[in-house]
Structure 1
C-alpha cells in the first residue's frame, strides 16, 4: 500500500522537471549577479551603492510580485500564467544583456525580479496540484534541485563569465534556457484550469501585503549594507512594513476568505511550523552561503572562482541527501527528517568555529560534505509540509505565505550574519586600538608592525568563527518549530 502511495507517474515527473527548468534561470541569475558588482561599477562608470540596486531592486520586485500569483491562478490557466512568467523573465534578461547604462540595467532587473516573483510560488502551487500531498516530499526534493545548484554553480559560472567573457553574458545565458523552458511548457505541460474565475482581485490586500513585504525587506537589506540593524532607514522601513502588516491583518479579519492570504492558513500547525522554520533557515542556509565564500576569499585568499569550487563538497552532500530526504518526508513525515537534518547540519557547521587559514582543505571538504547532507534535509521537508492538510483552494495562498516568509527570512539571515560578524570585528578592533593607545604592547618597530598585522588577521578569523557559531545555534533553534511538523511514524 505504501508503495502505491509513493509511486509517481511519469507524466507528473516530466511536469516537475519542466517546472524545475523554468526556475533554474532565476536562481542561477541571482547568484551570478552578486559577484559581478565590481565589474558593473567599472564598466558602467557607476558606484557600488547605485550598482547594488541591481540586486536590491530585483529582491524588492520579487516581493511585489509574489502576492499577485494567487489571483492570477484563480483567474487564468496555470500553464498560461507560468508561461507568461517565463516569457517575462526572458524579456527581462534580454533587456539586461542589452543595457547601455546602469539605470536601464536596474529597470531591466526589476522586470526580471517581478517575473521571478511570479515563477517561484506558481511553481510550487502547480506542483502540489499535479502530484498531490502524499508525495510532496519527493516532489519538493525535485523542485529543490535549482535551489541547490543555484548557489553551488552560480558563483563558479559567474566567475568564469566575468573572467573570460563580459558581464552581459550573465544575462545572455538565460535566453537559451528560457527558450527551451517556453518550448517545453507549450509542448509537454498539462493545463491547470483557473481555480475560481469569479474571484475578485483583493487589490487592497495585495497592495498592503506587497508594500509590507517590500518595506521590511528593504529595511533589512539596508541593515545588511550598513551592518547595523539600528540605522535610521532600517528602523523606518521595518516599522512601516510592520504597520502595513497590521493593517493587512485588520483587512483580512474584515473580508475573511476573500483576502489574498487568509488568516485561516495559520490554524494549520504544519503551516506554522513550516513558516517559522523557513524563516530561521534563512540564517542557517543564506547566512552560511554568504559567509562561506567570503571565508575562502578573505581568510584563505582564494579567488571568487576558486572559492566557488571549494564549496562543491557541500553541494554534493545536498545532492546525495536530496532523494532520500524526499522519500523519508513522504513516509515518516517532515518532523523527524528536519530534526535529524538539523543535527547533521550542526555537526557540519560547528567545526568552522575552530577552522582557520592553516586548516587542511581536505578536512574542510569533509565537514562541508557533512553540512551539505544536513542542509539538504532541512529546506525541502519544511517547504513540503506547508501544504499538509490544505484544501486545493488554499494551496495558492499557502504558496504565497511560505514564499513571503522565506524571502524575508533569507534577507534577515544574510543581514543578521553580516551585522554580527562586522560588529564583532569592530568591537575587537576598537578594544585592540585602545590597548595600543595605552601602551599595553611593547617591542621594536619591526616587531610591532608584524604583531599589528598578525593580530588584525586574527580578529578577522575570529569574526568569521563567531559567525559560524551563530549559524550553528540557529540550526538547533529550528527544532522548536519542527515540533509542529507532520509525524507519520507508526501511521499506515
Structure 2
C-alpha cells in the first residue's frame, strides 16, 4: 500500500523567520546589479576616467558574482548555511562601505569585487536555507519568497539609482546598502537556526573549482563583450567565449570522472525534474532579461525619454509579478510546476509579442500594458520553475542543485543580453540610414530615422519571443505533480 505523508499547509514560525531574513538580505544585493547602471557617466566624470575603464565597476561585480557561485555548495556543507549567510552579508556590507569611500576608479572596482563575492554567496545560500526549511510540500511558496528580490531589482534599481544620482552623491548608491544589510545581519544572528549538519572533512575539489569559476567568468565576460558593442567577432568576445567553452568542457569531463566527489555532482542531470526545470529556467531567463534590456533602450532611443522615465516604464512588469507570484507559489505546491510554468511562459510571451509590432508612434500606455502582461506571466513562471529542480531531491543534494540553478540563471542572463544586443546592433547597421550600429549613432540622426530605429528594435524583440517560446519544450517535459506520494490537507 502506498504511503503518504502530511505536508504542512502554511509557513510555520521557523520558515517565516528564515524567509524574512533571506528576503531582507537578498534584496539589496540584487538591487546592486542594476542600481549602479545609471551612474556610469557620473562616475567616469568624477574620477576623470574613460568609459572603458569605469564600466568595470559593473563588470567586476558581475564577474565576482559568477566566480563565487560555484563554491557555495561546498562552503555550505563545510561551514553550515547560517555561518556562510552571515559571512556573505559581512563581506557585502564591508564592500558597500568601502565602495562609498572609494578615492579612485581602481579602488572602486576592487571594492566592487569584494561586494560581488558577498553577493555571489548570498542568493544560493539563502535559497538553500529556504529549500531545506520548506521541504517538498512548501517549495513553491518558498521559491516565491526568494523570487521577490529578483523581481524588484530591474524595476526599482534604475529608478532608485536615478533618484540618488540626481539628488544626492553617487556614494549613497553604496551607503544605502549598509543599514538594510546590517539589520539583516542582526536578524540572521538572532533568528536563523544553528548550523547542525556539517561535513568537516569534506575536501574541496580544487581542480574543478579552477576549471569552473574561471570558465564561468570567461563565458560571462565574452557574452558581455559581444553584447556591449564590441560584436561577436571582436577579439575580446571570441577569446572570452572560447576560453569559457574550453574550461567548462574540461570541467564536465573532470566532474564525470570524480562523480560525487566533484565540486558539483553532474549526475543530478539524470533526474528529469532537475534537467527540465533548469533547462526551462535557462531559456526563459535569457528571454526575459533580454527584454528588460531592450525595452528601456527603445524607450530612450526612439522616444527620447530619460533614464528615469525608462525605469518607470518597467514598473508595471513588477506590479504584474507581485500580483501573481504569491498565488503561483501555492498552486505550484498543490498541482506541480508543469501546467503553471507553461501558462506563465505563454502569458509572458503574449506581452512580448506586442513589442514585435512597435513603431515610432506606439503609445507608452500600450507598452506599459504589455509589460504588465509579461509581469503576470513572470510571476507564474519563476516560483514554479525555481521549485521544479527540487522535486524528489534528497536533502543532501539541495546545495548542489541550488548552485547549478544559480549558475544557469547567471549564464542565461549574460547570454540573453548578449544575443539580443548583438541582433539589435546588426539590425541598426542594416536598417538605419547612415547609422553605425551604435545607439550613439542613432541619437545623432534623431527623428528622421525614428521609424527605422523602431523597426530594428521590433525585429530584435522577435528574437526574445523565439528564445522564450523554446522554454515551452522543457517545461512541457516536467513531471506532472510536484511531489509524488504527498497528501495535503
Please report how far the alpha carbon of residue 278 of structure 1 lies from its aligned counterpart in structure 2 after TM superposition: 2.2
**2:473 is the counterpart of 1:470:** no
Query: Which residue of 476, 479, 485 corresponds with 1:483?
Result: 476
Closer/same/farther in 2, CA of residues 37 and 422 from structure 1, 3 Å limit: same
Report if the CA contact (8 A) 1:227-1:418 is conserved.
Answer: no
**2:121 is the counterpart of 1:150:** no
Rounded Cα–Cα distance in structure 2 between residues aligned with 1:227 and 1:419: 9
**2:226 is the counterpart of 1:233:** no
Report if the CA contact (8 A) 2:230-2:237 is conserved.
Answer: no
**2:440 is the counterpart of 1:414:** no
Report if the CA contact (8 A) 1:318-1:376 is conserved.
Answer: yes
Please report how far the alpha carbon of residue 23 of structure 1 lies from its aligned counterpart in structure 2 after TM superposition: 0.5
Rounded Cα–Cα distance in structure 2 between residues aligned with 1:336 and 1:32: 34
Per-residue CA deviations over 1:394-450 (Å, capped at 9, x if unaligned) read 1111111111111111001011111101111101236999xxxxxxxxxxxxxxxxx
Closer/same/farther in 2, CA of residues 490 and 270 from structure 1, 3 Å limit: closer
Report if the CA contact (8 A) 1:227-1:420 is conserved.
Answer: no
Closer/same/farther in 2, CA of residues 486 and 290 from structure 1, 3 Å limit: same
Aligned to 2:393: 390
Report if the CA contact (8 A) 1:227-1:422 is conserved.
Answer: no
Rounded Cα–Cα distance in structure 1 between residues aligned with 2:268 and 2:483: 27
Rounded Cα–Cα distance in structure 1 between residues aligned with 2:433 and 2:253: 47
Query: Which residue of 91, 98, 102 corresponds with 1:99?
Result: 102
Query: Which residue of 298, 301, 324 corresponds with 2:301?
Result: 298
- SS at 1:35 equivalent: helix
**2:383 is the counterpart of 1:380:** yes
Rounded Cα–Cα distance in structure 1 between residues aligned with 2:435 and 2:319: 41
Please report how far the alpha carbon of residue 224 of structure 1 lies from its aligned counterpart in structure 2 after TM superposition: 1.2
Report if the CA contact (8 A) 1:222-1:234 is conserved.
Answer: yes
Structure 1 gaps of 5+ residues are 434-451
Per-residue CA deviations over 1:31-86 (Å, capped at 9, x if unaligned) read 11111111111111111111111111111111111122111111113111100000
Closer/same/farther in 2, CA of residues 431 and 294 from structure 1, 3 Å limit: closer
Closer/same/farther in 2, CA of residues 59 and 46 from structure 1, 3 Å limit: same
Please report how far the alpha carbon of residue 24 of structure 1 lies from its aligned counterpart in structure 2 after TM superposition: 0.9
Structure 2 gaps of 5+ residues are 437-444
Report if the CA contact (8 A) 2:159-2:308 is conserved.
Answer: yes
Tell me which moved more, 25-34 or 227-236: 227-236
Closer/same/farther in 2, CA of residues 132 and 490 from structure 1, 3 Å limit: closer
Aligned to 2:14: 11
Rounded Cα–Cα distance in structure 2 between residues aligned with 1:42 and 1:454: 29
Rounded Cα–Cα distance in structure 2 between residues aligned with 1:72 and 1:432: 50
Report if the CA contact (8 A) 2:44-2:54 is conserved.
Answer: yes
Rounded Cα–Cα distance in structure 2 between residues aligned with 1:265 and 1:2: 25
**2:164 is the counterpart of 1:171:** no
CA-atom RMSD in angstroms: 2.0
Rounded Cα–Cα distance in structure 1 between residues aligned with 2:273 and 2:185: 34
Rounded Cα–Cα distance in structure 1 between residues aligned with 2:211 and 2:16: 37
Rounded Cα–Cα distance in structure 2 between residues aligned with 1:354 and 1:227: 28
**2:426 is the counterpart of 1:423:** yes
Rounded Cα–Cα distance in structure 2 between residues aligned with 1:201 and 1:4: 35
Tell me which moved more, 39-48 or 273-282: 273-282
Aligned to 1:286: 289
Aligned to 1:441: none
Tell me which moved more, 84-93 or 312-321: 312-321
Tell me which moved more, 188-197 or 13-22: 188-197
**2:449 is the counterpart of 1:459:** no
Query: Which residue of 197, 201, 219 corresponds with 2:204?
Result: 201
- SS at 2:36 equivalent: helix
Aligned to 2:135: 132
What is the total number of aligned residue pairs between the two structures? 474
Tell me which moved more, 92-101 or 469-478: 469-478
Report if the CA contact (8 A) 2:429-2:435 is conserved.
Answer: no
- SS at 2:393 equivalent: coil
Rounded Cα–Cα distance in structure 2 between residues aligned with 1:151 and 1:423: 25
Please report how far the alpha carbon of residue 255 of structure 1 lies from its aligned counterpart in structure 2 after TM superposition: 1.9
Aligned to 2:222: 219
Tell me which moved more, 66-75 or 105-114: 66-75
TM-score of the pair, normalised by structure 2: 0.93
Per-residue CA deviations over 1:351-387 (Å, capped at 9, x if unaligned) read 1122334233333322221111012222222211121
Closer/same/farther in 2, CA of residues 357 and 458 from structure 1, 3 Å limit: closer
Tell me which moved more, 24-33 or 185-194: 185-194
**What does residue range 309-328 of structure 1 map to in structure 2 within 5 Å?**
309-328=312-331
Report if the CA contact (8 A) 2:284-2:345 is conserved.
Answer: no
Rounded Cα–Cα distance in structure 1 between residues aligned with 2:196 and 2:122: 17
Closer/same/farther in 2, CA of residues 431 and 90 from structure 1, 3 Å limit: closer
**2:68 is the counterpart of 1:75:** no
Larger radius of gyration: 1
**2:123 is the counterpart of 1:120:** yes
